[in-house]
Structure 1
Amino acid sequence: MSRLIIVSNRVAPISEGGPAAGGLAVGVYDALKETGGMWFGWSGDVLGSGQPEIRLEERGPVTFATVGLVRRDYDQYYRGFSNATLWPAFHYRPDLLQFDRHDFEGYCRVNTWLAQQLVPLLRDDDVIWVHDYHLIPFAQALRTAGVKNRIGFFLHIPFPAPQVLLAVPPHRALVEALCSFDLLGFQTKPDLRAFCDYIVNEASGSVDTSAQGPSIVHAFGRTLRAAAYPIGVYPDEIAELAKAGEHDKPVRTIEATLHARKLIMSVDRLDYSKGLVERFRAFERLLEHAPAYRDKVSFLQIAPPTRSDLHAYQEIRLQLEGESGRINGRFAELDWTPIRYIHRQYERPVLAALFRTAHVGYVTPLRDGMNLVAKEYVSAQDPEDPGVLVLSRFAGAAHELTGALIVNPVDVDGMADALGTALSMPLAERKARYEDMIAQLRENNVSVWRDNFMRDLQQVSGDEERVANEAATG
């Protein structure tokens, strides 16, 4: 049986009870530990000097192969092009985009170097699955090194409309590099359409959607496949985590200090794409326009730090601290703090138990590839007394979780209205919405995401071999 080789920018130090990791890390590890194989990527270490060396670690059926980055590579590849150029552009924030030609050169150089580190570890029948925007040129680098294995790519963040992508100066080189993969996976059909629109209108390519399965893309002298594969979670596992964490101190503290108040809860990395400021202001608008909720509801925002050495992230932290302080100063009582803003990580069972405690899950990114927090919130609910999910229409999860209250994250009044609706929703309606969403989550869990992608990647290989054989026989 072929090994699965996962390649991602960061190989996360995941443990079953450890700090909650991002959607990519949880989804990838849950997929990989079932099949066995290797997870290859950056260790997270930034070296001041010396040549980075690969470290191999066996954990059950999974081999973790990690390597550090020297400071220049970290600055240009990660801080620079990946997160100062691609991240804002792909999240529809070209106004925040910063581009430096040397950063792009570093981005390509590190992708080539990482590919060269992986090549000696590969076997002929390995299937390689590359993840996310940091590694767009990775297949191109492997092909240059002579690797003929099947290579798939999954983009965890949105793919922007062509007119937005054009704001990235080397946009054509990026899309050409994507076409070196055999199969491209996107979170949603709108992301897939955006990619196909670029191929047709900017790259003079073609897209065939007539057949069953993934679209067939012809561009830059290559034929590849592309489709949407919405990433999922294991809802029953999350429900068990919620039960396991209900006696942990943070959960008991929240329950004890709520004093029968209802709880609205959000969990996000501290990032400008998450709509945090708008979310705070919508909660303020709820308290302003519906004074009956004052001292009857608390809002818990957990926002772990991320990319704290980037200026844009320092700004959003200061802005949120200012907003929470202003709103609390306006409405707080001696025994009631409206917003509890916490800037730290919690372990997965604690988060799941807090989700189960919360009457409202408040997930309103300005733009998000999927947003697994929305799915985890629903999964953690008590089926007999579930909470209500308020969800941005610009999260990929909104295409599946139709039982949520769908909002526009820039419409502060609309979000405030949705919070009021969620807080007052009758039990029968809450249960009906929950049952609809949990059925969807069970039907499309993370194993389905993995299996669908791997099935189509295997089929791509078969298609290419058949075409080659037909050409050889005339």
Structure 2
Amino acid sequence: MIHTSFDRLVVVSNRLPVVLKWEHERWTVRAGAGGLVTALAPVLSRNGGVWMGWPGTSEQADVHAPLEEFSQSQGYLLHPVILQTEDVRGYYYGFSNEVLWPLLHGFHTHCNFKLDYWEKYQKVNNRFAQEILQVTTEDDYVWVHDYHLMCVAREINKGLSRRKCGFFLHIPFPGPEIFLKLPWRRSILGSLLEFDLIGFQTSQDMMNFVRCLECLCSNTRVHTEQNLAWIACGDKEVTAGTFPISIDFDEFAELAASKEVSSRTDKLHMLHPDQQVILGVDRLDYTKGIPQRLEAIRQALIRFPDLKGKIALLQVLVPSREEVPEYQALKEEIERLVGEINGQFTEPGWIPVHYLYRSLPRADLVSFYLASEMALITPLWDGMNLVAKEYCVCNYREDGVLILSEFAGAASQLYSDAILVNPYDVNAVTEAIRRAFYMHPSERQSRMRRLRQTIKTYDIHFWLDSFLQAAFDSRPQEVPMAGFSTFLSSIDRL
């Protein structure tokens, strides 16, 4: 039951949940996809809410009229925050993607700590804050999303006006050994303390945040209960919580059982007779561990010749930031590895790695989920990884195996029934592949059934409900989630 102790819910994110495209001398607006939109749209529609964000266009583009027309059809307001091109370059491509993204994922050596990036980041956060103050009242609840907008509450609170603000971080939060390398660490932490509630994906992320505060604030006091922590740091007080995001179970389950997907799945099975398909689905990014995964496939075929001709990796790579040299180099490395492995092992009638570099329609993706006997989800560090959950939900036949990195946030929920691996340990990943290949059908079924039940119980709607309950009731809610040490110890028992 969603709590409605507010006049309106106002969602604030870097981008609006729509795709704007210039077609036939006019702007067209199409609804964006994703679980966040699915969960929030009904709440926003119910109380005439607002979604604020950058429309993804240049400052010269007048998108107000098409967005207003689209808003009327949806029942809630889309409010664009117009940004200058140079500000987008420094705030989004610069500070967000060259500083915060690598830092919060533990890749601090990839960071580019340019002062101009930080100045643009603060400027844009201030711009968002001013728009929020103009559009909202003190009776609204402002829910800010993700690392692009960490300083919004601080900018709002500089004046006399106050807003009740929550924040949810969709990506990991590292410990002080990494986070404190940020030159503006005090400003970021201080800005986060200006929110009323901060949501994290895992208990480990929340405790990392507390540890960073303790390093910079000598009188930090913390009280924890269930998934919530009440934190005092100097004269600042904030509630933090663990709220693992999820997907819409019913939406994916229904699509997987549709005739359209079943037909595509049957065709895929015909292409891989007497083979078990291993699926990898990732956005092009250095955090996803794709070169390590490909090396594990190579080593599996070397160490276990009995797998030759009987497994095939289907790697879907979604294009991302292709204009960045580092990402282009990563793509080239991945394609080199695919070529090497196929050249080394391919036999008539069998190719070990099938590689697709493209975005897929959801129906195609779901058919891949359903046709694959294994999912190999091995990020080096990930906030949650919803692909792992999507794979399980779509596997309604309950004959698949989830091999999951212990550094994915999803591992803290799914550790009991997934096969957890350290993606840096190539031999361990190869052994997990062989174990999954020979796993008895009854064990596959029991594991997948429990995985699907966990995701069904704690779906995207539970996530939304639990966050808003914490925001207005401050009552802890039991969220089944293991700490890092718990599921690490579980690996030793497997």
Q: Do they superpose with TM above 0.5? A: yes
Structure 1 residues 23-422: aligned runs within 5 Å = 26-36=34-44, 37-47=49-59, 55-56=67-68, 57-58=70-71, 59-209=73-223, 214-219=228-233, 221-244=235-258, 246-247=260-261, 251=265, 253-383=267-397, 385-401=398-414, 402-422=416-436
Structure 1 residues 460-471: aligned runs within 5 Å = none
Runs of 4+ in 1 over 3 A off after TM superposition: 18-21, 49-57, 210-213, 245-253
CA pair 393-245 structure 1, distance change in 2 beyond 3 A: farther
Normalising by the residue count of structure 1, what TM-score does the alignment of the two structures yield? Answer: 0.90
Residue equivalent to 2:18: 13
Deviation readout 1:144-168 (Å, 9 max, x if unpaired): 2544221000111100001100111
Corresponding residue SS for 1:326: helix
Deviation readout 1:115-153 (Å, 9 max, x if unpaired): 222322213321111111111001111222544221000
- Report the RMSD for the aligned CA atoms in angstroms: 2.5
Unaligned 5+ segments in structure 1 are 462-474
Residue equivalent to 1:464: none
Query: Conserved in 2, the CA contact under 8 Å of 1:239 and 1:352?
Result: no
CA pair 210-187 structure 1, distance change in 2 beyond 3 A: closer
Give the letter for the 1:173 counterpart: S
CA pair 246-330 structure 1, distance change in 2 beyond 3 A: farther
CA pair 80-245 structure 1, distance change in 2 beyond 3 A: farther
Q: Distance in 2 between matches of 1:257 and 1:69?
A: 48
Q: Distance in 1 between matches of 2:128 and 2:263?
A: 42
Query: Conserved in 2, the CA contact under 8 Å of 1:182 and 1:460?
Result: no
Query: Conserved in 2, the CA contact under 8 Å of 1:245 and 1:251?
Result: no
Q: Distance in 1 between matches of 2:226 and 2:382?
A: 28
Query: Conserved in 2, the CA contact under 8 Å of 1:128 and 1:151?
Result: yes
Structure 1 residues 419-434: aligned runs within 5 Å = 419-434=433-448
CA pair 450-340 structure 1, distance change in 2 beyond 3 A: same
Give how far 1:248 is off: 8.0
Give the letter for the 2:52 counterpart: F
Corresponding residue SS for 2:42: helix
Give how far 1:208 is off: 2.3
Query: Conserved in 1, the CA contact under 8 Å of 2:404 and 2:418?
Result: yes
Between 437-446 and 356-365, the greater mean CA deviation after superposition: 437-446
Give how far 1:211 is off: 5.3
Query: Conserved in 2, the CA contact under 8 Å of 1:398 and 1:406?
Result: yes
Corresponding residue SS for 1:118: helix
Q: Distance in 1 between matches of 2:80 and 2:376?
A: 35
Q: Distance in 2 between matches of 1:211 and 1:349?
A: 41
Query: Identity of paired residues, percent?
Result: 34
Q: Distance in 1 between matches of 2:108 and 2:175?
A: 12
Unaligned 5+ segments in structure 2 are 21-28, 476-494
Give how far 1:33 is off: 1.8
Query: Conserved in 2, the CA contact under 8 Å of 1:31 and 1:446?
Result: yes
Normalising by the residue count of structure 2, what TM-score does the alignment of the two structures yield? Answer: 0.86
